[in-house]
Structure 1
Amino acid sequence: MAFKNMPSQPMARTLELALRLGHVKRIPLEKRNGVENSDIENQFSHLLILDFESTCWKNRGTAPPPEIIEFPVVLLDLSSGEILAEFHEYVMPTENPRLSEFCTELTGISQDTVDNGIPLKTCLHLFNKWIRSVVEQFGLVLDNSKGPGNMYTCCTWSDWDLNLCLENECRRKQIIKPLELCSWIDIRSVYRRFYQRRPHGLNGALRDLGVEFEGREHSGIVDARNTAKLVYKMILDGCILKQESREEVDLDAQIGAAAPNKDKPRSIFTVSPPKRKKKLFGPRIYAKENLDNVKIQVPT
């Protein structure tokens, strides 16, 4: 999304000044190294990592609903960190076809680019063809209970992409959302709980782990590739992603179980799509994280 990784300008200026004065001390994040349980492995072998860009306006309070203008997906192999395949299309907005100056400046996407793009319905049709080809090529399955295969799911930086932007736009335009895009891991939420800290955007999350962000921020395909780098780094640090079931989960109980416990080698909680819908607009757009179905095991 256009807004989700925007840095705070006052904070950025403060950090720049502190760096110039030599008053910044970087403290590496503690790795929870209880990885001696080698029999515990990620249930997912691959992730579809998405990062949409949408129409946006400087004044969010009076802005119309966002429409996707860039639709990037990368297929990440969790065993190697390699990006195996990419899907990337620019999408033509139809409700508000003129991009704001703010949107073009933030995303780098020009009016000509979206004018030459394709409608969302066509984009999803092409995505369906692409996902069928990579599923066949790499032997992927959404649910391994229905047969053997390499299990995969989607992954996004926050709930915005799939729970808000695509969900609401498909409803407004009466488009069927692909099954593959109906469940996902919110890696921002996982990051917060795994490292026990709040990241300052995707760039900040990478920087805190000593990984460099490559490319232009707020380019959807660039953000998706960098999210893939972040996920693989988290896997190397011992983050375990497991899907237990599709049943309702007691969120409070799960988060409570994730609290550090010296008596247990690992802590467990779950992450998945939320059960309740969020409001499309408002200052608390990220107030609810998606937390059930996928188990994260945090080494201690």
Structure 2
Amino acid sequence: MSRKPWEKQHPKGKDGVPTRLFTDENPATTIKGTGFRDKRIAERTIRLTSQPGVRYKQYWTIKAMRERAFYHPHQTNGMRDAIRVFDDWLKEEVNKPALSKEEINLRRDEWKRYQTLCQSAANGHSYGNEPTQSQLQRARDDLKNGQDCLVRGLELSQKSTSNPFPFPLLAFSALFGAPGAHGYGRHTIVGDQSLVDVDGKDGLQELVSSKRVLSRYGDELKRISLTYNRENGTTEMKLEYGKKRKTLSSLWNRVPKGPQQSPPDVSPSKDTHTTLISSKRAWSCSICTFEHVGVDKKLYLACEMCGAPRQESSSAREVTPNTKEIPPKPAHATKSNNSPHAKETLTDARKAAWGTLRPPTSRDVQGPRKRQKGLDTPTPLLDYIVVMDFEWTADNKSKMEPIAEITQFPAVVVKLEDRKWGYSTAKSESILPKSPIPLPADLCVPCFSNRVVNADAYAISAFDTFVKPTLNPTLTKFSIELTAIQQHDVDSAPSIDTVVNEFVTWLQSLGLVDSGGKRVGNWCFATWGDGDIGGTLRQELDYKSVSLPPCFDRWIDLKNDSIFLKHYGREPRGGLRKCVESIGALWSGRAHNGLVDSFNTAKIVRHMVQTGFRFTRPTRGLDRNGVPFGQRRKQNENRERS
């Protein structure tokens, strides 16, 4: 194969570096595991690109890897070894004879298959050899989404063997690549299903580089099997472990193996402190019950596990001149352990071995104790979370004067339940009034029936209405295009004071507030950002001299209070839709519609609860003067600076 095609399509710049390197960012045809980090990775790259289906681009891939390693700004010794491996292969490839007709036909068939895969739905984010920044960001988002879905599947697989969970097709292709052998294992397509086998922890490390995820599953992970349905976008996963995990009981009662014999002068005794089960055991500690096995341990005067003095009859061990004789116990002490002398001897032995600590008992070794303290139980979940996402007047690159006004006022009530700890003091949805707004099917059905999750959050009611702005009654073109709210929608809508009263009445029908608008029970609002309740609603009601209901004094900011970051380990970037899709949930509806955004935000709340996050308290609120926490201090600091 000639080098001219490469040099022609990849000219070098003034610095000698090729202006663009070969890249195949088609997820449906990508082979995972190629690289140039060291000699082993370089040899694996050659082996992976030699398999049928990718040989048409083998030369281009290896040439690109060689150039990337050669011009890397932080080149290592391993990269230099990889360059030598690539150079040897390229020399042999150039000197090879021309391809035969059979090989040419095979390459032609592979090329047709490649074109078919490139036109499939799994190749939605391909962009060729000259990508834009937005295309690169989309490819990274798809890969990150696939990694998040894989981690979610691992968590569910530890709880149940049958656990179909959603996995977007683009995210699946971006993570697992084309059919064939990969650095993580193998991907096979059979009909409408994709079968993926990941080679244990090493294969998982190729897909997810998170140390927290890798340390959680350990070296016992032998294989991960995935069955992906390409029609409905769901995946089933199974985990296989090799070695059996060790427990504290197995480590504590471990007895060395081997043909060891007990000393001939040690015979079984009826002493309650020393009961020789077999001839292999020399003696047993009366404090921690550790068994000393072997001939060389018959003269031990103290336990090698806990350090307690040896307590047994004089006939059970041999006395040497260099050891002190332990006085035998009185005869009445061997008959009953309730005697004062027996209790005193045992107490002295315990103090000598452990000081002020209590020695372990069989109950400690066998398993965990039952929870007895009230502080051991976790803080109960909130009973309800009311998710809100307002829409308000806006203009492109200019601020609404004097203030922005709400044009859509939606809310979704989500019920939280914890089956494991039995915390569900909320009222049954059967006695609650029916929702005036239809609820999405994937948000209102509890998931306790599949026995996968211990906690769940599902919608039970929704509220939505348009609001008429009075300060700027005419909507801007930017606002109409962004929210799809038309002028006639707000012209016939009630004003903000009427909407607030209707909303409080709706909450009162659910038993969440009293007649004065004060909160009843353990619940809280939740918003995606801090501009809904703490910003727009508070400022508009204050400007129009409308009293803010007392229930709005506390809320949860899912986006800015590190809640999303703490649970998922990443920043909530890319907008609400990207965050919803990144957790494996399906986005439904038009973005920037208040009710649609509230439903999709509730999906994030539900997924967080199902995966172990506990909503127990608010994160934002207003002080007694109606100012959000922290803003008054910032105002005073700005005044001092000025």
Alignment TM-score, normalising by the size of structure 1 = 0.68
Does 1:171 find its partner at 2:509?
Answer: no
Deviations 1:241-281 (A, max 9, x none): 213xxxxxxxxxxxxxxxxxxxxxxxxxx722241338xxx
Amino acid of the structure 1 residue aligned with 2:620: S
Aligned equivalent of 2:409: 71
Does 1:86 find its partner at 2:459?
Answer: no
Contact between 2:410 and 2:594, CA under 8 Å: does it hold in 1?
Answer: yes
Superposition pairs for residues 156-195 of structure 1, below 5 Å? Answer: 156-188=527-559, 189=561, 190-195=563-568
Q: Within 1, Cα distance between the matches of 2:142 and 2:551?
A: 47
Contact between 1:206 and 1:230, CA under 8 Å: does it hold in 2?
Answer: yes
Q: Within 1, Cα distance between the matches of 2:399 and 2:133?
A: 23
Aligned equivalent of 2:148: 28
Q: Within 2, Cα distance between the matches of 1:11 and 1:89?
A: 39
Helix, strand or coil: the match of 2:460? Answer: strand
1:143: Cα distance to partner? Answer: 5.8
Amino acid of the structure 2 residue aligned with 1:45: D
Deviations 1:218-239 (A, max 9, x none): 0000111111111010011111
Q: Within 1, Cα distance between the matches of 2:537 and 2:512?
A: 25
Superposition pairs for residues 102-251 of structure 1, below 5 Å? Answer: 102-135=478-511, 142=519, 144=521, 151-188=522-559, 189=561, 190-200=563-573, 201-243=575-617
Contact between 2:512 and 2:520, CA under 8 Å: does it hold in 1?
Answer: no
Helix, strand or coil: the match of 2:502? Answer: helix
Structure 1 stretches of at least 4 aligned residues deviating more than 6 Å after TM superposition: 35-38
Aligned equivalent of 1:277: 631
Deviations 1:34-81 (A, max 9, x none): x99994354301111111000010113576521000000111112343
Q: Within 2, Cα distance between the matches of 1:227 and 1:70?
A: 16
1:210: Cα distance to partner? Answer: 1.1
Amino acid of the structure 2 residue aligned with 1:271: T
Amino acid of the structure 1 residue aligned with 2:606: Y
Contact between 1:74 and 1:225, CA under 8 Å: does it hold in 2?
Answer: yes
Q: Within 1, Cα distance between the matches of 2:512 and 2:535?
A: 29
Amino acid of the structure 1 residue aligned with 2:588: E
Residues 134 and 67 of structure 1: is their aligned pair in 2 closer, same or farther, counting only changes over 3 Å? same
Residues 158 and 11 of structure 1: is their aligned pair in 2 closer, same or farther, counting only changes over 3 Å? farther
Amino acid of the structure 1 residue aligned with 2:592: H
Residues 91 and 13 of structure 1: is their aligned pair in 2 closer, same or farther, counting only changes over 3 Å? farther
Residues 54 and 12 of structure 1: is their aligned pair in 2 closer, same or farther, counting only changes over 3 Å? farther
Residues 236 and 114 of structure 1: is their aligned pair in 2 closer, same or farther, counting only changes over 3 Å? same
Q: Which runs of 5+ in 2 are unaligned?
A: 1-131, 160-367, 418-445, 447-456, 622-627, 633-642
Moved more, 123-132 or 180-189: 180-189
Aligned equivalent of 1:47: 385
Amino acid of the structure 2 residue aligned with 1:207: E
Moved more, 176-185 or 112-121: 176-185
Residues 173 and 62 of structure 1: is their aligned pair in 2 closer, same or farther, counting only changes over 3 Å? closer
Helix, strand or coil: the match of 1:185? Answer: strand
Q: Within 2, Cα distance between the matches of 1:95 and 1:11?
A: 41
Residues 42 and 11 of structure 1: is their aligned pair in 2 closer, same or farther, counting only changes over 3 Å? farther
1:194: Cα distance to partner? Answer: 2.0
Residues 136 and 94 of structure 1: is their aligned pair in 2 closer, same or farther, counting only changes over 3 Å? closer
Contact between 2:389 and 2:411, CA under 8 Å: does it hold in 1?
Answer: yes
Aligned equivalent of 1:266: none
Helix, strand or coil: the match of 1:192? Answer: helix
* Bigger Cα Rg: 2
Contact between 2:620 and 2:629, CA under 8 Å: does it hold in 1?
Answer: no
Q: Within 2, Cα distance between the matches of 1:242 and 1:104?
A: 38
Q: Within 1, Cα distance between the matches of 2:133 and 2:556?
A: 29
Residues 96 and 214 of structure 1: is their aligned pair in 2 closer, same or farther, counting only changes over 3 Å? same
Helix, strand or coil: the match of 2:510? Answer: helix
1:179: Cα distance to partner? Answer: 1.5
Residues 128 and 95 of structure 1: is their aligned pair in 2 closer, same or farther, counting only changes over 3 Å? same
Amino acid of the structure 1 residue aligned with 2:530: D
Q: Whose strand fraction is larger, Structure 1's or Structure 2's?
A: 1
Aligned equivalent of 1:298: none
Contact between 1:67 and 1:93, CA under 8 Å: does it hold in 2?
Answer: yes
Aligned equivalent of 1:295: none
Residues 226 and 11 of structure 1: is their aligned pair in 2 closer, same or farther, counting only changes over 3 Å? farther
Contact between 1:71 and 1:89, CA under 8 Å: does it hold in 2?
Answer: yes
Helix, strand or coil: the match of 1:99? Answer: coil
Contact between 1:57 and 1:63, CA under 8 Å: does it hold in 2?
Answer: no
What RMSD, in angstroms, separates the aligned Cα atoms of the two structures? 3.1
Q: How many matched pairs?
A: 230
Q: Within 2, Cα distance between the matches of 1:52 and 1:71?
A: 5
Q: Within 1, Cα distance between the matches of 2:578 and 2:525?
A: 22
**Matched-pair identity in %:** 27
Amino acid of the structure 2 residue aligned with 1:275: F
Q: Within 2, Cα distance between the matches of 1:76 and 1:202?
A: 18
Q: Within 2, Cα distance between the matches of 1:84 and 1:23?
A: 32
Residues 119 and 12 of structure 1: is their aligned pair in 2 closer, same or farther, counting only changes over 3 Å? farther
